[in-house]
Amino acid sequence: MYEIEVFSNFSAAHRLRDYKGKCENIHGHNWKVGVTISIAKLDKIGIAVDFGDVKRQLKEILKKFDHKNLNGLAYFRRVNPTSENLARFIYEQLKKRLPVSSVSVWEAEDSKATYYLEGTPHW
């Protein structure tokens, strides 16, 4: 198996609904997103997946979030905009296009949530 990772970031605000504590108030993060792709075989020139393609597709999804209040976006009106739910949303969007094995979202340098399907290779 081969595994590649691509990282990007965005800045956005959110508030956690039904949370008791300071995060119930609107606040912002400089979010970091990591996408992991696992591939069994390389192509004829020795590439698993083109890093540039993955970066472009990830940035296309993240531009929906950048400098927005996540609570105001359609999906997050129904789903609490936690790091966990962001990771799942990004995973589901990318999985339609790429063989994604996991998506991680950092809301701070020391706080990360990762989403992957049970049974998916995850190192």
Which one from 23, 27, 60, 122 is the annotated catalytic residue? 23
- Catalytic residue list contains 122: no
Q: For residue 108, give the amino acid letter.
A: A
Which one from 5, 27, 60, 67 is the annotated catalytic residue? 67
Two tokens at 35?
Answer: 């996408």
Closest among 103, 79, 121, 122 to 31, alpha carbons compared = 103
**Tokens 């008791």 — which residue?**
20
- Catalytic residue list contains 107: yes
Rounded CA separation 54/42 (Å): 15
- Catalytic residue list contains 24: no
Residues annotated catalytic, as ranges: 23, 67, 107
